[in-house]
Structure 1
Amino acid sequence: MPSNADMPMPVPDVAGADAGYEGLPDRSDLTTMQKLIVDTSAVADIGLRTAIASLVGASMLPTVAKSIVRRSDLHRERGNLEFYAELAARQDPALSFPAPTVLPTVSTRPANPVAQYIAHGNVQNMRFDSSFEPVNPKMRKQWKRLERNNVVWAQHWRHGDGPRPTLCVIHGFLGSPYLFNGLFFSLPWFYRTGYDVLLYTLPFHGRRAEKGSPFSGYGFFSQGMAGFAETMAQAVHDFRSVMDWLRDTGVERIALTGMSLGGYTSALVASADDRLEAVIPNVPVVTPERTFDEWWPANKLIELGRTFGTISREDSAAASAYHCALNYAPLVPRDRRLIITGLGDRLAPPEQSEALWEHWDRCALHWFPGNHILHVSQPEYLRRINRFLRPFMWD
């Protein structure tokens, strides 16, 4: 059973709450302090959204430019979109995200002393070769050239008395450093309460970024919509390989949480694999097509690509449904799903979490009065997560 370790207080503990049956609260239901925090954090988030959208746009620019100049690239991209749209229409996660068939051969080495100090325990960096093969045969040759991306990395915090229930964490876009995620999610606290912890690195981030990438995560959006689709497929595949390895080492109970893009990924994993004890998307992106349409200046590049490529918004959305959790039934039971959202979030607005909540049969939904990065009331929702997980992970 987890111990009652003291909860750190990294941010002001201004109360949030669980959503009611009707969903998130109306503005009139908030206290004066909550309204103030929501409004100020929303303004701050717009600046962050513009900065991130600029990086996404920079990633997309070469592909959009080539498709305008070289019509063959455009025709290939349109054919790929049709492939993913047809696959999405079948709504079969077993076809969209085939399970790994090979148990990974994992190598480990001790993490740096800072990580050991933060965790106050045994921390190992682990790696293995990805067995992922693109679901679209036309993308396989391109994917074989991605040497660094095709090596999977994670950091594992383990207790010395054998495998324990394990909380897995998937970072957001740009946010791959283990130290940042360990502190942001108060993972030392979860570790002290008894969990083993695993931090998973998404494709094209951190050590998986290809040589010459101007920033971590660049490859996520630099290969067109087909590349984004396959990147999400690989994110799911490689994490399922991690689960295979954990199970092989004796771990019986695995829970998954993720932030932003990691929340998007965690919701998708919960649609493809029934072995999770619980899933907790945190400020998740849910509908990327809608998100990108709101993210200036990336939305201008997307609009330009659609115009020159004669790709309609409907065709683009049909292809994007391939990697959207709203397209599939969740495989994790309803009482084991919890969504966290910020009312002032303008990168992944709370309406997106509410859409996932509706699709997930109005499961548990907890809101806090902050934005995408400033998680005001985080101590409260971390305690909420701990209470939520306890029956499934320990009892």
Structure 2
Amino acid sequence: MDPDPVEPPIPVPDVPGGDAGARGLPARGDLTLRQRAIVDASAIADIALRTGVASIVATSMVPTTLASMLHPLASRTEHDHMRFYAELASAQDPAVSFPAPTRPPRVSTRRASPVAEMIAHGRVENIRFDSSFTAVNPALRDLCSGFTRNNVVRAQHWRHSDGPHPTLCVIHGFMGSPYLANGLFLSLPWFYRSGYDVLLYTLPFHGRRAERFSPFSGYGFFSHGFAGFSEAMAQAVHDFRSLIDYLESTGVDRVALTGISLGGFTSALLAGVDDRIQAVVPNVPVVTPDRTVDEWFPANKLVALQRLVARTDRSLTEAAARFASPLNYRPLVPKERRLIITGLGDRLAPPQQAEMLWEHWDRCAFHWFPGNHLLHVSQPDYLRRMTRFLQDFMFD
């Protein structure tokens, strides 16, 4: 396999990043003047982006905040839900927190658009099947089963014509579900031409999984309170494991997983749940979303108001948040098959989040680039790093 097969479809500055050292990410003084300038400029730009994203998240949280203010019973119910997830998290057992699917999916496929095949330079199919997910919390099963559009799993599959290939699975970020945008942004033609099949997975409540009248893709992730977010993550894990079942049924025997932002968070969590994943590459991941949102204005003000009105114990919130955190579970992917990527100028998923995962993952391979959450400066550099990293596991 050619380790550097094509140039990325979207031109970005090729200012090299590097691998973390024994002590972690480089200090500011360790960067070159050019790297430092790019990190500073991209961080300022990311703060503006973060404010916009936080405003959207805050909008989706308004209904639960109002319910807490107007109906004390709603606050007590949310506290009960938090205690439920905190108790599950305390066991640190992924088999208990995330039960495996018990039946194979019945998948239907249809040919994707000519534009998708033009970008991939190969055969592309859209796949769908009914989710077999049942809410982990029995108190939420009626609510979750009523999400009719969300309970149809969707993905796009880039397949070679000569049979199944090692497959790179990709999970998008919050609100970032369009297949074509992810294919271009993440330079997936690079990997397809390297010999991988590619599968793009749609997270719950995103894209065509968004419920009718949702104001934006991803709205349902945060619009049902903390418990709703926890169940959305549980379903994200469950449905992806069903996709692995499907891939195996077609003859795929090697699956690597990467994801960006919320997808990075999900991929890191999956690495602690399913031992069939050959390699994992979280890209600009968040690992403690409860702490991250506390830094996002104006969402942090709404969260603070909700906690005040509901009299929520901060320690209970933190204990419950561990249910869906990759930091709560030991990785099942071997150390030499873990690679974390982060941007030093990222202010949506600050590099300190990736560093926490790096510590939890026994200081595995760790690559940084001098850009922010969306502007992946030196993307060609880290694509080459990913290609070299994955080659030995996926194409021996």
TM-score tier after normalising by the smaller chain length:
over 0.9
- DSSP 3-state at the match of 1:168: strand
* Aligned amino acid, residue 340 of structure 1: I
Give TM-score scaled by structure 2 length: 0.99
The answer to whether residue 186 in structure 2 is matched with residue 185 in structure 1 is: yes
Q: In structure 1, what is the Cα distance between the partners aligned to 2:237 and 2:2?
A: 29
Task: Tell me the CA shift for residue 5 of structure 1.
Answer: 2.0
Q: How does 1:198-347 map to 2 (within 5 A)?
A: 198-347=199-348
Task: Tell me the CA shift for residue 3 of structure 1.
Answer: 7.0
CA contact (8 A) 1:38 1:344 kept: yes
Q: Which residue of 2 aligns with 1:34?
A: 35
Q: In structure 1, what is the Cα distance between the partners aligned to 2:2 and 2:207?
A: 31
The answer to whether residue 395 in structure 2 is matched with residue 394 in structure 1 is: yes
Q: In structure 1, what is the Cα distance between the partners aligned to 2:345 and 2:171?
A: 22
Q: Any stretches of 5+ residues in structure 2 without a counterpart? A: none
CA-atom RMSD in angstroms: 0.8
* Aligned amino acid, residue 145 of structure 1: G
CA contact (8 A) 2:3 2:384 kept: no
Q: Which residue of 1 aligns with 2:198?
A: 197
Identity of aligned residues (%): 67
Moved more, 82-91 or 64-73: 64-73
Moved more, 91-100 or 306-315: 306-315
The answer to whether residue 144 in structure 2 is matched with residue 143 in structure 1 is: yes
- DSSP 3-state at the match of 1:109: strand
The alignment covers a number of residue pairs equal to 395
Q: In structure 2, what is the Cα distance between the partners aligned to 1:7 and 1:278?
A: 23
Q: Which residue of 1 aligns with 2:7?
A: 7
* Aligned amino acid, residue 273 of structure 1: D
* Aligned amino acid, residue 152 of structure 2: V
- DSSP 3-state at the match of 1:64: helix
Q: Which residue of 2 aligns with 1:126?
A: 127
Q: In structure 2, what is the Cα distance between the partners aligned to 1:3 and 1:339?
A: 19
CA contact (8 A) 1:2 1:194 kept: no
CA contact (8 A) 2:89 2:320 kept: yes
CA contact (8 A) 2:3 2:388 kept: no
* Aligned amino acid, residue 187 of structure 2: S
Q: Any stretches of 5+ residues in structure 1 without a counterpart? A: none
CA contact (8 A) 1:2 1:394 kept: no
Q: In structure 2, what is the Cα distance between the partners aligned to 1:267 and 1:331?
A: 10
CA contact (8 A) 1:271 1:328 kept: yes
Q: Which residue of 2 aligns with 1:43?
A: 44
Q: Which residue of 2 aligns with 1:167?
A: 168
Q: Which residue of 1 aligns with 2:356?
A: 355
Shift in CA distance, 2/246, structure 1 to aligned 2, threshold 3 Å? farther
* Aligned amino acid, residue 277 of structure 2: L
* Aligned amino acid, residue 84 of structure 2: F
* Aligned amino acid, residue 176 of structure 1: S
Task: Tell me the CA shift for residue 257 of structure 1.
Answer: 0.1
* Aligned amino acid, residue 131 of structure 2: S
- DSSP 3-state at the match of 2:294: helix
Q: Which residue of 1 aligns with 2:153?
A: 152
Q: In structure 2, what is the Cα distance between the partners aligned to 1:302 and 1:61?
A: 10
Q: In structure 2, what is the Cα distance between the partners aligned to 1:371 and 1:160?
A: 37
CA contact (8 A) 2:175 2:206 kept: yes
CA contact (8 A) 2:3 2:387 kept: no
* Aligned amino acid, residue 353 of structure 2: Q
Q: Which residue of 2 aligns with 1:365?
A: 366
* Aligned amino acid, residue 244 of structure 1: D
Q: In structure 1, what is the Cα distance between the partners aligned to 2:3 and 2:309?
A: 59
Task: Tell me the CA shift for residue 14 of structure 1.
Answer: 0.2
- DSSP 3-state at the match of 1:280: strand
* Aligned amino acid, residue 93 of structure 2: D
Q: In structure 2, what is the Cα distance between the partners aligned to 1:387 and 1:378?
A: 14
Q: Which residue of 2 aligns with 1:91?
A: 92
Give TM-score scaled by structure 1 length: 0.99
Task: Tell me the CA shift for residue 10 of structure 1.
Answer: 1.9
Q: In structure 2, what is the Cα distance between the partners aligned to 1:44 and 1:198?
A: 31
Question: 1:39-73 CA distances to partner (integer Å, 9 max, x unpaired)?
Answer: 00000000000000000000000111012101121
* Aligned amino acid, residue 6 of structure 1: V
Q: In structure 1, what is the Cα distance between the partners aligned to 2:152 and 2:76?
A: 31
* Aligned amino acid, residue 13 of structure 1: D
Task: Tell me the CA shift for residue 6 of structure 1.
Answer: 2.1
Task: Tell me the CA shift for residue 312 of structure 1.
Answer: 1.7
CA contact (8 A) 1:3 1:194 kept: no
Question: 1:159-212 CA distances to partner (integer Å, 9 max, x unpaired)?
Answer: 000000000000000100001100011101110111000000000000000001
CA contact (8 A) 2:4 2:387 kept: no
Q: In structure 2, what is the Cα distance between the partners aligned to 1:313 and 1:131?
A: 33
* Aligned amino acid, residue 274 of structure 1: D
Q: In structure 2, what is the Cα distance between the partners aligned to 1:76 and 1:212?
A: 26
Q: In structure 1, what is the Cα distance between the partners aligned to 2:13 and 2:201?
A: 28
Question: 1:66-89 CA distances to partner (integer Å, 9 max, x unpaired)?
Answer: 121011211111100000001101
Question: 1:285-336 CA distances to partner (integer Å, 9 max, x unpaired)?
Answer: 1111110100011011111111111112211111010000001100000000
CA contact (8 A) 1:338 1:364 kept: yes
Q: In structure 1, what is the Cα distance between the partners aligned to 2:314 and 2:293?
A: 12
Q: In structure 2, what is the Cα distance between the partners aligned to 1:4 and 1:89?
A: 44
